[in-house]
Amino acid sequence: MVTKELVDISNSFTQQDIDFIRCWRFICCCFWKKLQNQACEILGVEVVSPYAKTKIISHPNQGLTAVEKIFNKNAVGVPDDTILHAGSDARVKVNIVGSQDTTGPMTVQELEAMAATTISPSIDGAYQSGCHTASVWDIKSSTKYPKLMKFYE
């Protein structure tokens, strides 16, 4: 077993990278931040976070992508007059359900495992990544996954 330090790469990590490592992976970090936001909102207390501070990247007079518009509309803890662009790291309050890198049947299993019977009509958006199910999104071939299509009605 090698115990000698070969190279110190600690300076190459941003505080956000360190958060992701501490949380085990990106999705866990996002989940814990959302859970913390929700708990503080319910308790009526200010969020005091052990996570990295908001990282704001803003380019005056630059337009926004659709994702940037969603983030700016729903940013938490960012001054109202601040415009966030790609590379920013901020908490957002977004109500979106999605599935990435799964087949139609796998997505149905995931939703059922979470006790889901329908996707609420009050969400901001829902998606199923087309990487494995590219043929699902035309009317004729969507009949292959009727159970999945029912979730998205």
Q: Is residue 108 part of a domain?
A: yes
Q: Is residue 5 part of a domain?
A: no
Cβ proximity of 151 and 111 under 8 Å? yes
The pLDDT of residue 98 is 64
For the beta carbon of residue 140, count every other beta carbon within 10 angstroms: 7
Question: Where does the chain show beta strands of DSSP type E?
Answer: 75-76, 91-92, 96-99, 125-128
Q: Is residue 36 part of a domain?
A: yes
The pLDDT of residue 21 is 80
Question: What confidence tens digit (pLDDT) does each residue in 105-134 have?
Answer: 666 666 677 766 665 667 666 666 655 555
Q: Is residue 126 part of a domain?
A: yes
Q: Tell me which residue has tokens 């509309």.
A: 73
3-state helix, strand, coil in the chain (%, to 5): 40, 10, 50
Query: How far apart are alpha carbons 29 and 49 in whole angstroms?
Result: 12
The pLDDT of residue 136 is 54
Q: Is residue 84 part of a domain?
A: no
* Token pair belonging to 106: 């796998």
Question: What confidence tens digit (pLDDT) does each residue in 56-68 have?
Answer: 999 989 999 988 8
54: which DSSP letter? P
Domain membership of residue 47 as a residue range: 12-53
Question: What confidence tens digit (pLDDT) does each residue in 14-57 have?
Answer: 888 888 787 776 666 777 777 888 888 899 998 888 887 888 99
The alpha carbon of 59 is separated from its chain's Cα centroid by a whole number of angstroms, namely: 23
- On the question of pLDDT at 102 being above 70, the answer is no
Overall number of domains in the chain: 2
For the beta carbon of residue 107, count every other beta carbon within 10 angstroms: 24
The alpha carbon of 35 is separated from its chain's Cα centroid by a whole number of angstroms, namely: 13
Q: Is residue 60 part of a domain?
A: no
Q: Is residue 73 part of a domain?
A: no
